[in-house]
Amino acid sequence: MGAYCNDDLTLSPKYTFASSQDLRFSKHVHDNVHGNIYLDPLSLKFIDTEEFQRLRDLKQLGVAHMVYPGAVHSRFEHSLGVYWLAGEAVNKLKTHQGLELGIEHYDVQTVKLAGLLHDVGHGPFSHLFEREFLPQVLKGSEWSHEQMSVKMVDHIVDRHHIDIDSGTIKRVKEMILASSEFALPKSAKEKHFLYDIVANGRNGIDVDKFDYIVRDCRACGLGCNFQFPRLLETMRVLGDEICYRAKDYLTVHKLFATRADLYRTVYTHAKVKAIEFMVVDALLKANDYLDIASHVLDPSEYWKLDDTILKTIETAPDQELSEARDLILRIRRRDLYQFCNEYAVPKDKMENFKEVTAQDIVCSQKSSGVILKEEDVVVSNVRIDLTRGKSNPLESINFFKDYDSEEKFSIPDERISHLLPTSYQDMIVRVYSKKPELVGVLSEAFENFQLKTYGIKAQDHGCNYAVSFSLLILSGSYRTVHKPVLGRDGKSSVR
């Protein structure tokens, strides 16, 4: 992000919500996605704290930059982006329907603060910390970054003596939790549509996705044909719910399709996941000595955790961290856990799918000179959907015909396109070997498991390029598909 401008400005002691709309009282930064972002005085009180500045040291995509070198953007710039889009969204509604909906400056400020602070509770390497590391050290815990964000908001207000109405903070926290399983009852009796702008629990369309989809595609060098400004310009509130023009249904579908594509090609990339598993193992080996997990219990300690924990482990001389250091060194030298193979769970088996474990693979080994151990195996159960599990997300979205109409309606699949998928969820099982010499034995055991479970063999990894080639041709986006060149050790020279 660029440096703050207008640094000679000071916060007015008579600052009110109304002044947040006056650019004379704002500072601005230049964002490489949205252009100039104007930061109002109240938001700056939160931004200029060590707890929020910590987000500069949390990469938005965890370890994905080790595969996509450009993916080094942080939670800091994403949070500013969501803050800006949240303000843009509610201000557009205020411009077009303000009198009808009763939108006040207070509402605008509350939604913007929710956008700014929605990710302040993320841990090192973002979702890796929450989904892979903590469940192994805090057994049975229901910890979530949304809940920690709420605790961090309270901590920042108390520690820095931010003068803000308690009702405002209450609504901000409700908006942060709105799309999570820990959603709180809405304190407001009306204007519930405001809760759907930052984290939409109703149908998944929110400005958080608008920002990270465009930002992540840009950073990873991927094309993005989802145009969120179109939805911001034409959305409308009907019956206390944000609805979209029927003619924009394909734009809405592209939102979910692009997100699913990012999950498949970036977030769950086979090599990204291999590095993630190594980072998790390093954190697990360092946890007892550094007491990492205990930080999540106290916001005053939690803010000290960020991605630099790897460098802390890597450069520490302590003998107790030697195993964790060795794993990080393997990552640096690209001696990664080896991908063995993968298979997509058959569609008719998805309903009763049970996650595959390392024990399942080890127990499928037939007689061999090498005996597999569970600690040598990593199994990744990757679920990719369009935000609504096995359901079509468009079923929970309401549309309107034109601005003269007061009727809202959903659009069934058959009215959209016969080219849309008949299934809205994929389940992919991958197996990795922590030791290169066990790849062959593990691959055979994985194939035995596949045959025993579904009566078919696992897909040979080399076939993925042929499948991708065919899909590219069918989609009309084929240019060149590069098949990796394998070295003598069988490792790909393309990373």
Neighbours of 438 (CB within 10 A): 18
* Enzyme catalytic residues: 145
Q: Are 343 and 428 in contact (CB under 8 A)?
A: yes
- DSSP for 398-450, please give it: -EES-TT----B---HHHH-TTS-S--EEEEEEEEESSGGGHHHHHHHHHHHH
DSSP 245: E
Residue recorded with tokens 């490792």: 491
Nearest CA among 307, 426, 316 for reference residue 66: 307
Query: 168 exposed, middle or buried (CB, 10 Å; 0-12, 13-18, 19+)?
Result: middle
Query: 139 exposed, middle or buried (CB, 10 Å; 0-12, 13-18, 19+)?
Result: exposed
Residue recorded with tokens 């930064």: 29
How open is the CA angle 100-103-104, to the nearest 5 degrees? 135
SS3 content of the chain, % helix, strand, coil (to 5): 50, 10, 40
Q: Are 148 and 130 in contact (CB under 8 A)?
A: no
Cα distance from N-terminal residue to C-terminal residue, the chain: 28
Beta bridge partners of 27: 39
Beta bridge partners of 238: 241
**CA distance linking residue 183 with residue 201, whole number of Å:** 9
Q: Are 129 and 138 in contact (CB under 8 A)?
A: no
Neighbours of 455 (CB within 10 A): 8
With residue 198 as reference, give the H or E element that holds it.
none
Return the structure tokens found at 244.
Answer: 């979209």
**CA distance linking residue 409 with residue 89, whole number of Å:** 22
Q: Are 388 and 396 in contact (CB under 8 A)?
A: yes
**CA distance linking residue 285 with residue 321, whole number of Å:** 7
How open is the CA angle 459-384-57, to the nearest 5 degrees? 115
**CA distance linking residue 209 with residue 167, whole number of Å:** 27
How open is the CA angle 367-371-372, to the nearest 5 degrees? 115
